[in-house]
Amino acid sequence: MHSTPSFTPPARALIVGAAFVIVIAGLHLAASVVAPFLLAVFIAVIATPPLRWLTNRGWSKWAALLIVGFVLADIGSLLALISTGALDGFRESLPSYQERLTLLSNEFHVWMQRLGMEPAGIESPSMFDPAKTVAMVRSLLASVGGLFSSGVLILLTVIFILAEASSLPAKMQAAFNTTEDTDARIKLVFDSINQYMVIKSLTSLATALLVWIWLWFLGIDFAILWGILAFLFNFVPFLGSVLMAIPAVLLALVQTDIPTTLLVALGYLVINTVIGSILEPRIMGRGLGISTLAVFLSLLFWGLVLGTVGVFLSVPLTMAIKVALDSSPYTRPIAILLGPEIEDKSRPAADEGAKGPAMADRLRQISGLLQQRFQPLVQRFSDWRDSRRH
């Protein structure tokens, strides 16, 4: 009999690390295929609740698929048309923006000279040259057209994924003989991703609407384009709230004056604070189940591996990987490292026990002070009432 070779822990770690590097390199090389497929999967996850709602209301499976497909196609077409039209108008307005930018640059040079600082080596930025800017906008328009053309393929992939979604658990059971625990973990992955994507989509939509209304109120050009940009960048953790504000703030500086530019920046700050820091965490509940460091590192990692799509999908991808790692005792330590901070359960009890007597003493002190302050008033009121009776 041939005995199976056993590897030492360092050798096993080396083999696992090499396999990980090979898989990541393969994903990076196949990013042009993998990224649209992953995007289609996450869009299908978002579209699953409406599809299930229609089928529960008596609609047939294919009729519900047709309705969901038409809605997704209409939304994608509307976004593409609005973005293309706004970018075309932005390209036509570039000469006037260039004149305004040149004027601001000259005023900046004069201001520096009045302060006695010679701006040596500071010239008008060549990146705002009209020819270069027009070429940049044209390439951006071409990329938007390419995204729309690939959007048709993504939409078809979403429809086929939704068509197979109901039979997928039975196929997994027949193919891999999965246990109930495995099925529960797979369901947990999809439920977590679905909750995150739906809530993030709604909060991103609210952010986009508020940004659009605020910029339209201030008279900033192409406000709807910056609203769409805010919707997309709201999916990017940490950096998205900053990146979405840069184009609109720069345009406000070129188009209007300093006070209006400050109002634009203040509006972005208030919107992102209210929705991103107050409203969204309350709706999310317990949170993402991922540490802040893991979210930031996943943003960098998936951005390098899958490009732009990886940046937008970094959080749900990491959530799925964390749940998968938690299913095995060998990889559970990695899942714990990716998870949030572990609270010390003994500390709150001790703190509450220490705070209890202190709080009671503090309340008694406050009660005594109130009695000392209001006792003369109470006595005067009693005397006045007695005098009225007599």
Dihedral sign (CA 296, 194, 36, 144): negative
CA angle, 334 as apex, 328 and 336 as ends, to 5°? 95
Distance CA 21, CA 101 (A): 47
Q: In this structure, are residues 323 and 311 in contact, taking their beta carbons and an 8 Å threshold?
A: no
At residue 123, the pLDDT reads 47
Structural domain contains residue 87: yes
Q: Which of 138-147, 190-199, 222-231, 283-292 has the lowest mean pLDDT?
A: 138-147
Of 129 and 331, the one with more pLDDT: 331
Q: In this structure, are residues 294 and 318 in contact, taking their beta carbons and an 8 Å threshold?
A: yes
Burial class of 11 by CB neighbour count within 10 A (0 to 12, 13 to 18, 19+): exposed
Structural domain contains residue 41: yes
Q: In this structure, are residues 170 and 305 in contact, taking their beta carbons and an 8 Å threshold?
A: no
Ordered alpha helix ranges (H), 3-129:
9-29, 31-56, 61-92, 94-114
Q: Which of 121-125, 195-199, 274-278 has the lowest mean pLDDT?
A: 121-125
Give the closest residue to 335 by CA, choosing from 351, 318, 352.
Answer: 318
List C-alpha distances in Å: 387 to 285, 360, 374, 378, 379.
61, 39, 20, 14, 12
Structural domain contains residue 246: no
Q: Which of 7-21, 119-133, 213-227 has the highest mean pLDDT?
A: 213-227
Label residue 215 by pLDDT band (50, 70, 90).
very high
pTM: predicted TM-score of the whole model, two decimal places? 0.71
Q: What are the tens digits of pLDDT across the range 94-153?
A: 777 777 777 777 777 777 777 766 554 444 444 444 445 455 555 555 555 555 567 788
Structural domain contains residue 36: yes
Give the closest residue to 280 by CA, choosing from 185, 154, 195.
Answer: 195
Of 160 and 175, the one with more pLDDT: 160
Q: What are the tens digits of pLDDT across the range 333-385?
A: 888 888 877 765 555 544 444 444 554 555 455 555 555 555 565 565 556 55
Structural domain contains residue 269: no
Give the closest residue to 312 by CA, choosing from 85, 71, 39.
Answer: 39
Domain that holds residue 26: 19-166
* Single-letter code of the amino acid located at 356: G
Q: What would the two tokens of residue 228 be?
A: 């769409």
Instruction: Tell me the pLDDT of the chain averaged across its residues.
Output: 76
Of 22 and 97, the one with more pLDDT: 22
Structural domain contains residue 297: no
Of 263 and 332, the one with more pLDDT: 263
Q: In this structure, are residues 162 and 63 in contact, taking their beta carbons and an 8 Å threshold?
A: no
DSSP state of 157: H
Distance CA 356, CA 350 (A): 10
Q: What would the two tokens of residue 23 be?
A: 């898989």
Please give the radius of gyration of the chain, using alpha carbons only, rounded to the nearest integer: 30
Structural domain contains residue 135: yes
Structural domain contains residue 90: yes
pLDDT at 72 over 60: yes
Counting the structural domains of the chain, the total is 1
